[in-house]
Chains A and B, each alone.
Chain A
Amino acid sequence: MAQRKPMTMAQKILAAHTGREHLSVGELVDVPVDMVLANDITAPIAINEFARLGVDEVFDRERIALVPDHFAPNKDIKSAEQCKQMREFAQRYGIVHYFEVGRMGIEHALLPQEGLVLPGDVVVGADSHTCTYGAVGAFATGMGSTDIAVAMATGSIWMRVPSTIKIVYSGERRPWVGGKDLILHTIGLIGVDGARYQAIEFCGPAIETLSMDNRLTMSNMAIEAGAKAGMFAPDAITEAYVSSRAKRSCRPTCADADAEYERVIEIDVSAIEPTVSFPHLPSNARPLSQVGQVKIDQAVIGSCTNGRWEDLVQAAEILKGRQVHPDVRCIVIPGTQEIYLEAVRGGLAETFVRAGAVFSTPTCGPCLGGYMGVLAAGERCISTTNRNFVGRMGHVDSEVYLAGPAIAAASAVLGYIGGPEQLGR
């Protein structure tokens, strides 16, 4: 019998899709995809390129998701035109998973929730945070609009099989430390290009007990370390999350025990404090105790990183019965309509409004400096989003500090960056 060559999760998923026994790191392959995604800012270019391909139908009407979320509900006339172009494309080609305003959500909160991305899938999206779906065990990666045009037409796309970094988390998490703190700490450790061209496998005992919402937060930010994908091996938590949502079969895939990794990094989570990334790179991570006195003008709780149910619950727990600091605008944006409705039903919406916060319909809005919370010169924002580049949320002289929902909510009350433990009561 031929010797079996061990493979990582990325190798195995890509091999299964290309019908190969084995795929080696560095091989260029044409990979059939399970789901293709675009949004209101990347779809227009993809649609124009699609037209140039000269095909008259998409590869599969049920395997394409189009989500108006970045500048939608339309923030201005140009955004309205872009959304219109995407809507008309969806109508013309009979795209099943087109999500209209009022029925949508931020794409990376929405697709897992709707069971459209599953363990063992290959997913490509014209959005860099497509890597979020690694949390459910998919090989998911962001690409540009032209790539997505080709994927929509042919159902496959070229890829290079990446090497993989294995990150092993052990130990007990401290209070108020969640997926966001783990990933900010990790990016601080390996840098914004620490996993460039590579896949990451998040594993270890501290990961095995981590909830799906927290896993989604971690996979979401794999791109902030330059990674092609950031994956969790499917387990009981994955199964519990996926089983009620999936409408098709899937092929859960784990790495071979003896797979070869580019690097293995061990992290003891018991040493990790709530973490804040300073401007202007996600890798400028500091433990909360070393943040010092940073006065803020705005706190944003939401986005594809931390706009999920558990994030809102955590923020509400802190804001309940308290008031947002008089000098701070606090903006809470649920990831999807389903989460929004849950927040209304569960009384969270009332908690936010009574605390003096904005509670908005789902949108990317302020995360990319679009609308609904753009910063003026000199303003500082603590944000549960994923990027703090120069000018990301507004004026080039504004500053974004990244953190999890507990820190963002506590900071909104304090008026400066701090944790729930500083709130007293």
Chain B
Amino acid sequence: MTLEGRVWKYGDNIDTDAIIPARYLNTSSEAELAAHCMEDWDTSFVANVQPGDIVVAGKNFGCGSSREHAPVALKASGIACVVAETFARIFYRNALNIGLPILECPEAAQATLAGHTLEIDLSAGRIRNVDTGQTYQSTPYPEFMLALIEAGGLVEYTRRKLAEDHG
């Protein structure tokens, strides 16, 4: 599966309060969450984000609370993939669980600038910067994680497993 999208670039330690401020957690509506995504951090995000755009960030992306509203807000905003130097543990789980593709790749994250276009081959974990021509290889997913992604997230994966167990 290949994605191509324009880059929103952020720095280190982008926390879940930055991605979706806690004051909006009185809803789980995807559209409402998307309407406030990144607003305290980058007021231009909501107005200008396009379906298929890619977020590129530094270290420890998604640190802070366990709110799944954070990857949900990004996904519902149209973000197709997040590439970061590293991810906070809970965000990593949550993103894969809800089917938001994320790639850990320090080299690509450091060299990519806002407005660049990235081409990403998800199954191979390959990232190509269309503007600079550079290609990068991200850290591969463990096998179990691939199965999870293939199933379309944890709920589908578990449904299948439960069906097997009972079938």
Q: Which residues of A contact B (CB under 8 A)?
A: 28, 41-42, 44-45, 48-49, 52-55, 70-71, 75-76, 78-79, 82, 125-128, 130, 142-147, 149-150, 153-154, 158, 192-193, 196-197, 226, 228, 281, 368-370, 374, 387, 389-392, 396
- CB < 8 Å neighbour of A193 from B22, B26, B67, B86: B86
Decide if A193 touches B60 in the complex (CB within 8 Å).
Answer: yes
Given the contacts A53-B158, A143-B90, A392 and B22 also touching, CB distance less than 8 Å: yes
What are 7 residue pairs bridging A and B, where the CB atoms are less than 8 Å apart in the complex?
A45-B68, A45-B69, A144-B93, A146-B94, A196-B89, A387-B17, A390-B17
Give the interface size bracket for B toward A.
35 or more
Chain B residue numbers with a CB within 8 Å of A154 are: 158, 162
Docked complex Cα distance between A213 and B114 (Å):
46
- B:128-146 near A, CB below 8 Å: 142, 144
Decide if B155 touches A53 in the complex (CB within 8 Å).
Answer: yes
Given the contacts A28-B142, A41-B67, A149 and B23 also touching, CB distance less than 8 Å: no
Cβ-based interface call for B15 (8 A): yes
Cβ-based interface call for B88 (8 A): yes
Decide if A142 touches B90 in the complex (CB within 8 Å).
Answer: yes
Docked complex Cα distance between A86 and B68 (Å):
17
Given the contacts A71-B26, A369-B23, A145 and B68 also touching, CB distance less than 8 Å: yes
Q: Which residues of B contact A (CB under 8 A)?
A: 13, 15, 17-18, 21-23, 25-28, 40-41, 59-60, 63-69, 71-72, 86, 88-90, 93-94, 97-98, 142, 144, 153-155, 158-159, 162
Docked complex Cα distance between A360 and B28 (Å):
27
Chain B residue numbers with a CB within 8 Å of A79 are: 26
Docked complex Cα distance between A147 and B27 (Å):
19
Docked complex Cα distance between A228 and B67 (Å):
15
Decide if A193 touches B97 in the complex (CB within 8 Å).
Answer: no
Decide if B22 touches A370 in the complex (CB within 8 Å).
Answer: yes
- CB < 8 Å neighbour of B18 from A28, A54, A149, A389: A389
Decide if B59 touches A193 in the complex (CB within 8 Å).
Answer: yes
Decide if A78 touches B27 in the complex (CB within 8 Å).
Answer: yes
**CB nearest to B144 among chain A residues:** A28
Interchain residue pairs A-B with the least CB separation, the first 8 = A144-B94, A78-B26, A144-B68, A368-B22, A193-B60, A128-B66, A146-B97, A142-B66
Given the contacts A41-B26, A146-B153, A147-B93, A192 and B63 also touching, CB distance less than 8 Å: yes
Decide if A150 touches B60 in the complex (CB within 8 Å).
Answer: no
**CB nearest to B165 among chain A residues:** A154
Decide if B64 touches A389 in the complex (CB within 8 Å).
Answer: yes
Chain A residue numbers with a CB within 8 Å of B66 are: 42, 125-128, 130, 142-144
Decide if A45 touches B28 in the complex (CB within 8 Å).
Answer: yes
Chain A residue numbers with a CB within 8 Å of B90 are: 128, 142-144
Docked complex Cα distance between A54 and B161 (Å):
12
Docked complex Cα distance between A48 and B30 (Å):
13
Given the contacts A54-B159, A127-B65, A281-B13, A391 and B25 also touching, CB distance less than 8 Å: no
Decide if A387 touches B153 in the complex (CB within 8 Å).
Answer: no
Decide if B17 touches A48 in the complex (CB within 8 Å).
Answer: no
Chain B residue numbers with a CB within 8 Å of A49 are: 155
Given the contacts A144-B68, A146-B68, A192 and B22 also touching, CB distance less than 8 Å: no
**CB nearest to A391 among chain B residues:** B40
Decide if B98 touches A42 in the complex (CB within 8 Å).
Answer: no
Q: Among the interface residues B28, B40, B72, which one has the most CB atoms of the partner chain A within 10 A?
A: B28
**CB nearest to B32 among chain A residues:** A78
Docked complex Cα distance between A325 and B132 (Å):
58
Docked complex Cα distance between A396 and B41 (Å):
8
Docked complex Cα distance between A222 and B8 (Å):
30
Chain B residue numbers with a CB within 8 Å of A143 are: 66, 90, 93-94
Chain A residue numbers with a CB within 8 Å of B17 are: 368, 387, 389-392
Docked complex Cα distance between A78 and B29 (Å):
11
- CB < 8 Å neighbour of B154 from A126, A150, A196, A197: A150
